[in-house]
Structure formats: C-alpha cells, structure tokens
Structure 1
Amino acid sequence: MDVRSLSKRYGANTAVDGLSFAVRANSITAVLGPNGA
C-alpha cells in the first residue's frame, strides 16, 4: 500500500502534514510522533 501526502487536522491543529510512506504486504507499520503518541 502506498500513502502519499497524508494530512490530518483537529480543528486549527495540524497533527500530520504531507506524510508519505509505503507498507509492504505482511508487515507491521506504526506512525509515532515525537512524544510516542
């Protein structure tokens, strides 16, 4: 699966902006922020 230019906002706060990545089949992938959330 390819994800390109993912963005997520909560009201006026931008949590993710322009994230792109690829996930291979049968793999486990996580997206963590600076504080581990």
Structure 2
Amino acid sequence: STPVETAFPTDTNSVSAKRVVEAGSPTLKREPSGER
C-alpha cells in the first residue's frame, strides 16, 4: 500500500488514456455519441 503503487496505475491510466485519445481521435470524430 505504498504511494508508488497507487501512482503507478494512475500514471499508466493517464498515458493509456492520452494514447487512446490520440489514436481514437478519428474514431471519436466518426462516433461522437460514443464519448458523449
């Protein structure tokens, strides 16, 4: 239960989210209802 363990998944999620947003940019534009 160290702060590093808690920060690790958060960092990974942030990086993954950013990559997904960048890679899914055209997909989100095609399906805007999917995000909102």
Do they superpose with TM above 0.5? no
TM-score grouping bracket, smaller chain normalisation: under 0.3
* Bigger radius of gyration among the two: 2
More helix by share: 2
Q: TM-score, normalised by structure 2?
A: 0.19
Q: TM-score, normalised by structure 1?
A: 0.19
Question: Which of structures 1 and 2 has the larger relative contact order (alpha carbons within 8 angstroms, sep 6+)?
Answer: 1
